[in-house]
Chain A
């Protein structure tokens, strides 16, 4: 056993234990850690955004742009950064109740541009790419008679899976979409297809659940390793 002498390891360990104390019940130690996490996280994200995004995209271009302008070089593209700068300041009018309505200009700009990007972006990433991925794996089609030919020529589990998986994917996507299609009553053929959709959804939810559980368990193992190895030095 070799207990750490690093003060920061001790702080991290104590805060870890404070949060685990919630497993017993809500208590002052947990509340302390919870509030500290909220505060530190809020500050962290703001600082990271500032240094990584505001400085290179707003402050530096403005400094360069105004530097060129005042040295007689005229207007440059760098001064375009004034647009988000001014919009950002306008959004802060929300803090002054009398002129808070002005913040809607900046919100309208943000929302409009963002929704415009979403229309084409989502069409590509969430619809076209998913349809492509349903039918193709890389440059090869997921469904091919040749896969079945390969299987019958030399039967093996790998080949039967290769032949069946593609069609299964196509059927699964169509059935799942049918389940979410509410313009027609789920009766008869549509009802049957929707029921198969439920089967795929249940397997999907189960798999996602299992995957999430294991991700959380690996985090738990990581924390236990920290406590037992880095802090207490019980394990190596």
Chain B
């Protein structure tokens, strides 16, 4: 009995020793995460790059490698440049509105907290509320808001004023403006919180020093707050630009890229090429273009951290 026991004990000890040694190596801890990343991020990305070098299609069974042909065709396609233009307009105005609105709200909430004004919490919660609504539903909420009949809130009130109905989603320019507003409605929470966080890190002694020097409120904002916020503003801008460039669900639900192709940003263009025109290779080439844009902006983001460290 005792020999069997000690054998079992020894086995157990050996096992726990092996476990301990395994646990002392980082690989075991990292393996599941790295595996998930490799299979569900790296593999699809590699697949996208490979696909972009073929003429693969959803309706043809076979395909061959065509080298860089997809890219060459893309570059000579006026439609592609039109999408780039629309994406740039969408991203530019979204980012400007996000940052401006976020900055104003963050300052107002910070001011309210310090002055003990009421309603700063309600304001913050309201802005954040918009941010957690699922993208598809945001598209639909704004679709309902902008319906071109009395059912749409905006046209309802314009009607009261004797204006309209305004074709928010069927006029190309207005449709693009509508997507920008809906996007800003969702994303401002992010910039507001980031900038508010930045405001909390501004050393109070700087304000005191400025006040001693006789600086008024505007001067203090201009010469203390803004320079101190610069790193945060920069990082926030880069992040919002990345989000804006990759917007999909909201526009997909709000306008579907229309009217015509007036709101077809890159992600929707990619989707349409790949799944509605069945040109997987071409869609993949657009995906790679987006990937490169993402990587470039990430580079800027990392650079921003270095800048932030220096300050």
Do these two chains interact? no
Which residues does A use to contact B, with CB under 8 Å? Answer: none
